[in-house]
Amino acid sequence: MKKKKRVGYAKYGYLFSLPFVIAFAVFSLYPTLYTAFIGFTDLKGIGKTTFHFLWHDPFLNFRTILTSPTFLIALKNTLVMWILNFIPQLALALLLAAWFTNRRFKIPGEGAFKVLFYMPNIITAATVAILFNALFGYPMGPVNDLLTRFGILSEPYNFLVKKNVARGIVIFIQTWMWYGYTMIILISGVLGISPDIFDAAEVDGANGWQTFWRVTLPNIRTILLFTLVTSLIGGLNMFDIPKLFLLGGPDNATLTTNVFIYNQAFSGGYLYNRAAAASMIMFVLIILSSAVLFYLLRDKDEEKLRRIEKAEAKKERRAKKEGAR
Amino acid sequence: MSKSKKHYGARTIIFIICVLLAIISILPFVIMLVNATRSTPQIQAHAVSLIPSHYLSKNMKILLGKSFKPSVGFMNSMIVSVAATALSTYFSTLTAYALVVYDWKLRDAFFRFILAVMMIPAQITTIGFYQMVYRIHMTNKLIMLILPAIAAPSMVFFMRQYMKPALSLEIVQSARIDGAKEFYIFNHIALPIMKPAIATQAIFTFVSSWNNLFTPLVLLTKQNKFTLPIMISLLRGDIYKTEYGAVYLGLSLTALPLIVIYLALSRYIVAGVALGSVKG
C-alpha cells in the first residue's frame, strides 16, 4: 500500500525538476558542447554563423592557441596573479579569523570590522577597476598625491606603464576585494568546530599559537579546500578587473586568459573558433586542477582524521586510567 | 595579572591593525565620493581631500552630457537582476523540493549530476552561448540574460541542504490528507518554510547578477540595452579622459546604491556569507 503511494508521487519528482533540466540543457549543456564543437571548425568573422569542420586537421585551433605566445603570456599572468593574490589573502584572512574567534580576548568593534572588510567585495568590479585606474593616475592621481605629500616619493610616479607594478596593482585589487569574504568563511568554519576540542586544548595547556596550528587549522581543512577551489576557479576566470583596469596592458602585462578569449572572439578578427578552443583548454585545466586539489587534500584529511581519532582514543584511555587512580 | 596585561597589549595591537585595514578597505570609496563633488582643477591640484566641494551639479552636467546614461543602465540592470533573482530562487527551491520530498528512480543520479556541474563557470561556455543566441536573433534581448537563471546548480544544492532538516515530510503528508495538491503544498507550505534560505540566496544572486560584466558585454551591443557594468566601462573611454570630477561622480552613482543597501543589510549579508560556506 505504502509503496504504491510512493510510485504515484514519483512523477512529481520529475515534473518539478523539469524546468531546471530544460533550462540547464538549453543554456548550459548545449552551449558547452557547441563551444567544444566550434573549437574544431573554421568559424570566424563578425556576424558569421556558417562554418566547416576541419576534417584535414581537427586540432588546428588548439595547436594554434597552445603555441600562441600571447595565450601563453595570458595563462602565465592568470596563474601568477591568482597565486600572488591568494597567498596574502588567505594569510590575512586566517590571521583575522584566528583573532576574531580567539576566546581569550574579544576585539572591540568586531562586527563593524567584518562589515567594512567585506565591503569591497559587494561593489561592482567594473566600478572598482576604473576607480583604481583613476586612483593610480599620473601625474596627479590620489595615490601620487598622498605619496608626494607625505614625502615618500619626491616626484609623481607613473605606476600604470610599468609591467610589474601594473600586475602588482591588479594583485592588490584582487586581495583587497576578497580577503574579507575569505575571512568570514574561515570564521564560520572555526565557529563550527566543537568547543570541546578547544576546551581539551586549553586543559592540555596549549598556547594560542599551538592551538591555532594543531587544533584550528586541521579542523577547518574542508573549508580551506572549499576556499582554495572556489578561489582557483574564480582566479582562472579573472576578467572584470584586468579588462577594465588597463585593458590587459601595458604590453599584455595584465592580460588574463578570459580577456584573451574575449579579445579573440569579439574584436579584431572575430576568431570564434580560436576563442572556443582557448575556452575548452581552460575548461580542461579547471577540471584537472580542481580534481588534483580535491584528491590531494582529501587523502591527507582522512589521514589526519585517523591520527586525531587515535590520539583521542589515547587521551580517553589516559583519562580513564587517571579516573581509576 | 601579568597575563591579562599581556592580552591587553595584544588586543591593542590587533585593534590598531584592524583599524588600518578598515581604512584601506573604505578609503578608495571615500576619495571617490568626495572627488565627485570637486572640480577637475581642484582634483588636479590635490587629488586627495576629505572636504567635499560644491561642484556636484556641474560634474553631473558634464557627466550626463555624454554617452554615459546611468538611469538607462540602472533600469536594465534592475530588470535583469530582479527577474533573474526571482526565477533562480523559485526554481532552485522547486528543484530542491523534488530532490527532498519525492522518491524517484533518477533522484540520486540527478543529485550527483548537480554536484558535478556546480563548479563549472559560465564564462567557459560563452562562445557557444553567444553563437546560439546570435543564430536565433536574440542578442540585445535582456531575456537572454534572465532565463539561464532558472538552472542554478549551486543554489539547488544549497536549498536541498537547507530543506532536508527544515521541511518535515509529515507536514507534507498531512496536507495531502487534507486534500491539498502537490503544487499547492510547495507554494503554500514549503516556500514559507524556506524563506530564510531564499532571502540569503536572493541577496547574493541579485548582487552577482547586478555586478556581472562578461555575459552582458558579449550579448548587448545597443546602448539602450546596456546594463550598469557596461555603462560603467564607458567612463574609461576617451571622452571622459580629462573630466576627473565627472568620472568620480559616475563611479559614485554606480557604487552608492550598493554601499547604502549593503550597510543597511550588512548584518544579514555577513551572516549569509558564513551560512553559504557551511552549507555549501
Chain B CB within 8 Å of residue A172 CB: no
Tally: H helices and E strands in chain B: 15, 0
pLDDT at residue number A303: 65
DSSP code string of A8-61: HHHHHHHHHHHHHHHHHIIIIIHHHHHHHHHTTB---STT-----B-SS-TTHH
CA angle B220, B212, B47 (to 5 degrees): 105
Residue B45: list chain A partners with CB under 8 A. 140
Q: What is the pLDDT of residue B188?
A: 94
How far is Cα A51 from Cα A126, in angstroms, rounded to an integer? 34
Amino acid in the structure at residue B145 = L
Is the model more confident about A30 or about A56? A30
| A78 is a domain residue | yes
Instruction: Tell me the residue range of the domain where A69 lies.
Output: 59-324
Q: Which residues of B, range 202-241, sit inside 8 Å of A by Cβ?
A: 207, 210-211, 213-214, 217-218, 228-230, 232-233, 235-236
pLDDT computed for residue A298 by the predictor: 67
pLDDT in tens, A55-100: 888 899 999 999 999 999 999 999 999 999 999 999 999 999 999 9
Cβ pair B194, B202 in contact under 8 A: no
Say what the ipTM of the complex is: 0.90
Whole-number average pLDDT of chain A: 88
User: Does A143 reside within a domain?
Assistant: yes
How many residue contacts between A and B have a Cβ separation below 8 Å?
297
- Report yes or no on A298 lying in a domain: yes
Task: Kindly state the cell numbers that stand for A67.
Answer: 603555441
CA torsion through residues B129, B130, B135, B139, sign: positive
Check if A282 contacts B (Cβ < 8 Å): yes
Cβ-contact A183, A97 below 8 angstroms? yes
Are B251 and B32 a contacting pair, CB within 8 Å? yes
Burial tier of B251 (Cβ tally within 10 Å: 0-12, 13-18, 19+): buried
pLDDT in tens, A205-218: 888 788 888 888 88
Residue B239 has pLDDT above 80, yes or no: no
Residues in Cβ contact with B117 at an 8 Å cutoff, skipping those fewer than 6 apart: A24, A28, B153
DSSP-derived 3-state class of residue A149: helix
Output the CA–CA distances (angstroms, integers) from residue B245 to A137, A157, B62, B68, in the order listed: 13, 21, 9, 14
Domain membership flag for residue A18? no
Domain tally, chain A = 1
The reply to whether B50 touches chain A by the CB within 8 Å rule is: no
In a domain, A286, yes or no: yes
pLDDT at A79: 96
Q: What is d(CA A191, CA A7) in angstroms, rounded to the nearest whole number?
A: 42
Given a cut of 70, whether residue B63 has pLDDT beyond it is yes
> What is the per-residue pLDDT for A269?
77
| Residue B214 confidence (pLDDT) | 93
3-state secondary structure A225-287: HHHHHHHHHHHHCCCHHHHHHHCCCCCCCCCCHHHHHHHHHHCCCCCHHHHHHHHHHHHHHHH
Look over chain B and give the mean of its residue pLDDT values, rounded to a whole number: 89
Q: Which of residues 123-152 of B touch A (CB under 8 A)?
A: 123-132, 134-135, 147-148, 150-151
What CATH code is carried by the domain that includes residue A98? 1.10.3720.10
Q: Which residue in A23, A115, A237 is closest to B121 by CB distance?
A: A237
Please report whether residue A43 resides in a domain.
no
Interchain CB contact of A185 with B (< 8 Å)? yes
Indicate if the pLDDT at residue B199 is higher than 60: yes
Domains delineated in chain B: 1-68+238-274 (no CATH), 69-234 (1.10.3720.10)
pLDDT for residue A166 is more than 70:
yes
Position B277 confidence tier, pLDDT thresholds 50, 70, 90: low
Phi-psi region of B34 (alpha: psi -120 to 50; beta: other; left: phi over 0): alpha
